[in-house]
């Protein structure tokens, strides 16, 4: 094993040719033997370099419509042979196999073909066989061979060849081998996920993460792996932060629960205010009224269009917020909102999202389905003789959707399609209820006629007793406590409406 190898031969077969020219010219200047196929060979000749066709080396033409070009011992033998192994060298000589010092291959664009919506036949044809075999072979034998596995490495390798008079060091070759296995594993992951989208295996692979300003706190590094450009068009503002992205996810999961005009104000993933309305302006004003203090520095999100009336109202209230997400913005609204250069304005492109939640913890990963359970009127189990009115029923369904998106222990107090009080992240349910009642009263809301939604059952009757004392008339909760009868009895005696859903909505 040697540190530096002088590149005297190269096999080049690539799909993407842009940026390859400096390497070709460097190889030409070194007098290296170049082997290639098809369009790549023609490209190299156009640059004035001599090319040996792989078919001449192997004695076989490209067959099966190009499916088999480089899968041959005379190709892979020259790549995989150990230069310091006498037996390997004897076999090369016996079979007239030339050694290959540099392999430059990139793969058919499988991931892009799937994303384009192409049919199954077109996608299958973009599963690279020869290319992946060349990449793995050259990477395995990095002690003697250098591999360039994608167009992303063209520029760097071209610079190395120029600076080192056609030589590549062991450290450089090992780094390229690592990049090669990164490329191959990423490629195979997407093929696997195409064939088995609901596999029990957890296979996730993204290249080139977005480097965020920092993580959850300034002393933590943060990255985003994904394609934000497929989700949003950013119309204004600074780059998104880690916390912005977490809050945006929380906002979108909530607003996508609703078909009617709906607006939410999010702080630390919890809705501090949200509401439906006859139009988006009304929904916005009701959402903000739910907790105008906590709205400062929050995320604003809606399931429709931001018009000038909403933008003017925000301007008049001098509300500072970091991010707004909407389906669309009227030009006049955009003109008003974009006057703050740091304010992030996002226009949604799609409502597509993952169906799974993945968390890293201990030395592994937790995976679960997203909580997509939607409560319907026919799912309700009345536990009291007092039944909900039409408006109360609407609030029951509204409240159950909202409390699902509050951190546990969670309580949502709602009235007329508006969140008027919330208790979130408390270690006891009674504390969450006390917090929700306090916040509602502190903002001047009349709790008489309101509805309480709980993400899990009340373990004792003290919860409904506190709710009744505050003027709350309807309680919706999963049920399931061994003391449910105490709660049912109290509600019946006080003329309250008590509804069980049978579905818990913990969120941690």
Whether the pLDDT of residue 68 is over 80: the answer is no
pLDDT class of 109 with cuts at 50, 70, 90: confident
Which one from 17, 174, 268, 347 is the annotated catalytic residue?
268
**CB-based contacts of 477, cutoff 8 Å, min separation 6:** 453, 454, 456, 457, 458, 499, 500, 501
Task: Specify the pTM.
Answer: 0.83
What number of helices (H) and strands (E) belong to the chain? 19, 25
pLDDT of residue 276: 97
pLDDT class of 73 with cuts at 50, 70, 90: confident
pLDDT of residue 1: 63
* Angstrom distance (rounded) from CA 468 to CA 466: 5
Q: Over the stretch 294-325, which tens digit does the pLDDT of each residue have?
A: 999 999 999 999 999 999 999 999 999 999 99
Whether the pLDDT of residue 57 is over 90: the answer is no
The average confidence (pLDDT) of the chain is: 92
pLDDT class of 389 with cuts at 50, 70, 90: very high
pLDDT of residue 182: 93
φ, ψ (nearest 5 deg) of residue 120: -60, -40
Residues of the chain above pLDDT 90, percent: 74
Q: Over the stretch 415-469, which tens digit does the pLDDT of each residue have?
A: 999 999 999 999 999 999 999 999 999 999 999 999 999 999 999 999 999 999 9
Q: Are 7 and 168 within 8 A, CB to CB?
A: yes
Cα separation values, 387 from 20, 380, 383, 490, 500, Å: 74, 11, 9, 15, 12
Decide if 140 is catalytic.
Answer: yes
**CB-based contacts of 366, cutoff 8 Å, min separation 6:** 358, 359, 360
Q: Are 238 and 290 within 8 A, CB to CB?
A: no
Chain-centre distance of CA 262, in angstroms?
24
* Angstrom distance (rounded) from CA 74 to CA 97: 5
pLDDT class of 9 with cuts at 50, 70, 90: very high
Residue-by-residue DSSP string for 351-373: ----SEEEEEETTEEEEEE----
Whether the pLDDT of residue 492 is over 90: the answer is yes
Which one from 126, 140, 174, 347 is the annotated catalytic residue?
140
In 3D, which of 387, 300, 396 has the Cα closest to residue 340?
300
pLDDT of residue 435: 96
Whether the pLDDT of residue 62 is over 80: the answer is no
Out of 67-76, 219-228, 317-326, pick the least confident: 67-76
Mean pLDDT of 248-271: 95
CA atoms within 13 Å, Cβ hemisphere of 21:
5
């Amino acid at each position: 094993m040697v540190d530096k190898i002088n590149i005297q031969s190269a096999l080049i077969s690539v799909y993407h040719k842009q940026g390859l020219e400096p390497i070709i010219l460097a190889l030409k200047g070194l007098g290296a033997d170049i082997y290639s196929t098809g369009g790549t060979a023609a490209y190299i000749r156009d640059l004035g370099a001599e090319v040996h066709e792989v078919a001449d080396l192997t004695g076989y033409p490209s067959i099966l419509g190009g499916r088999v070009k480089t899968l041959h011992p005379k190709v892979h033998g020259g790549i995989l042979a150990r230069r310091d192994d006498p037996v390997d060298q004897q076999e090369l000589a016996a079979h007239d196999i030339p050694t290959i010092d540099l392999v430059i291959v990139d793969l058919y664009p499988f991931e892009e073909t799937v994303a384009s919506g192409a049919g199954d036949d077109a996608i299958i044809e973009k599963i690279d066989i020869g290319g992946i075999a060349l990449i793995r072979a050259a990477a395995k034998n990095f002690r003697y061979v250098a591999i360039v596995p994608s167009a992303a490495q063209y520029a760097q390798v071209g610079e190395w060849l120029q600076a080192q008079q056609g030589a590549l060091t062991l450290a450089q070759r090992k780094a390229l081998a690592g990049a090669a296995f990164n490329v191959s594993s990423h490629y195979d992951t997407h093929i696997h996920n195409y064939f088995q989208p609901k596999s029990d295996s957890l296979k996730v692979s993204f290249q080139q993460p977005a480097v965020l300003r920092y993580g959850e706190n300034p002393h933590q590094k943060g990255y985003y792996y994904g394609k934000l450009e497929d989700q949003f068009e950013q119309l204004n503002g600074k780059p998104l932060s880690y916390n912005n992205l977490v809050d945006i996810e929380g906002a979108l999961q909530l607003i996508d629960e609703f078909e009617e005009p709906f607006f939410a104000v999010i702080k630390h993933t919890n809705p501090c205010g949200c509401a439906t309305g006859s139009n988006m302006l009304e929904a916005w004003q009701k959402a903000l009224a739910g907790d105008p203090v906590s709205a400062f520095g929050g995320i604003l999100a809606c399931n429709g269009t931001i018009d000038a009336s909403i933008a003017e109202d925000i301007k008049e209230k001098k509300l500072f917020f970091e991010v707004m997400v909407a389906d669309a913005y009227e030009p006049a609204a955009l003109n008003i909102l974009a006057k703050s250069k740091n304010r992030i304005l996002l226009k949604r492109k799609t409502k597509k999202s993952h169906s799974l939640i993945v968390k890293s913890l201990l030395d592994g990963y937790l995976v679960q389905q997203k909580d997509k359970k939607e409560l319907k009127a026919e799912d309700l189990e009345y536990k009291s003789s007092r039944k909900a009115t039409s408006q109360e029923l609407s609030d029951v369904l509204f409240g159950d959707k909202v409390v699902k998106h509050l951190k546990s222990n969670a309580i949502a107090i709602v009235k007329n399609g508006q969140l008027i009080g919330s208790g979130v992240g408390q270690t006891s349910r009674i504390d969450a209820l006390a917090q929700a009642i306090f916040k509602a009263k502190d903002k001047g809301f009349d709790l008489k006629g309101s509805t309480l939604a709980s993400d899990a059952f009340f373990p004792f009757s003290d919860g409904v007793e506190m709710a009744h004392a505050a003027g709350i008339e309807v309680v919706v909760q999963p049920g399931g406590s061994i003391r449910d009868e105490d709660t049912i009895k109290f509600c019946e005696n006080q003329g309250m409406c008590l509804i069980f859903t049978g579905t818990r909505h913990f969120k941690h």
